[in-house]
Amino acid sequence: MSTGRLFTLMPCASRKLGRSPKVQEEDRMSDGSLIEWTDATWNPVRGCTKVSPGCKHCYAQTFAERWRGIPGHPYEFGFDLRLVEEHVGDPLKWIKPRRIFVNSMSDLFHEEVPFEFIEKVFRVMKTANWHTYQVLTKRPERMREFAKEFGKKLVEHPHIWLGTSVEDQKYGLPRIPVLRAVPAGVRFLSIEPLLEDLGEMNLEGIQWVIVGGESGLGARPLAKEWVVSIRNQCRAQRVPFFFKQWGGVRKKVLGRELDGRTYDEFPLVAPQVAPTQRERARRIGEAERATGLSLVA
């Protein structure tokens, strides 16, 4: 689930280092991320289709289409939706606890991703519980449907954060009550790219809000008063507020300060502890039995 143009600097950064396209892709898809609010990305699904104005400049699509037709490249099929079974077990391989953005290059709850596959992804998240997962969707109705069918035991855990994107009043705001109906350890909003004043918001049941402007060529403008309004509402409703960026054509120039400071707040959760080698092996076995997949081959 791309959050607008989160990835603007990544390909350039990799090119500077003279890495092959394959290595660039591995860099951006797994451990290590330039996204300010996460440590790593995990993409058991690739590709997506646009649903609302926030998708207009989806960088995941631009990036993926660049590699269409290149045999052997992870994006050989461009932005066509694909399930990537060989990456379902990635978090089990990462020993150090991380915050992991799930599907930065897709949307886990896309209509073409079968619930059986989403179940496998959740089984891995539930088992590899030394990480924190940030699952962001523009399709919270399907997330709600999945939670209803598979139950709280699979979905509701403090280390699995479920979020939705909110870019405007027409498409974004109606997603909030839908998310609120999903059982979750932490519910969050990614208000990026913020496209207009959102007015008054009910943040009941929401534990984290991220705000950011669009970046890159053709970036749509962001007004300071829209951001201030959200920050003030977060303060009034005691919700942690993370200001990601002002955005613009050259996002580094505008930076990410608001009223002379940065806002890097996160939900308060207990720190995760890395498992022992033995315990991790036990968990891998458990996840393999639950998913029927060979996860760390």
Q: Which residues bind ligand SF4 (CB under 6 A)?
A: 1-2, 48, 50-51, 55, 58, 60-61, 106-107, 138
Rank residues 145 and 156 by Cβ distance to ligand SF4 and give the closer one.
145
Token readout for 54 is: 């926030």
- DSSP lists the bridge partners of residue 264 as 242
Say if strands 45-46 and 82-83 run parallel, antiparallel, or are unpaired. antiparallel
CB of 21 to ligand SF4, least distance (A): 20
Rank residues 48 and 186 by Cβ distance to ligand SF4 and give the closer one.
48
CB of 90 to ligand SF4, least distance (A): 19
Rank residues 79 and 263 by Cβ distance to ligand SF4 and give the closer one.
79
Token readout for 252 is: 């580094």
Rank residues 137 and 291 by Cβ distance to ligand SF4 and give the closer one.
137
Nearest to residue 227, comparing CAs of 241, 207, 208, 206?
Answer: 241
CB of 55 to ligand SF4, least distance (A): 3
Rank residues 54 and 89 by Cβ distance to ligand SF4 and give the closer one.
54
Task: Give the C-alpha separation, 282 to 277, whole Å.
Answer: 9
What 284-289 contacts at long range (C-beta under 8 Å, 24+ apart), as own/partner pairs, is 284/89, 284/92, 284/127, 286/127, 287/89, 287/92, 287/123, 287/124, 287/127, 287/128, 288/89
CB of 49 to ligand SF4, least distance (A): 6
CB of 101 to ligand SF4, least distance (A): 12
Task: Give the C-alpha separation, 110 to 155, whole Å.
Answer: 17
Rank residues 27 and 107 by Cβ distance to ligand SF4 and give the closer one.
107
CB of 195 to ligand SF4, least distance (A): 13
Task: Give the C-alpha separation, 14 to 263, whole Å.
Answer: 28
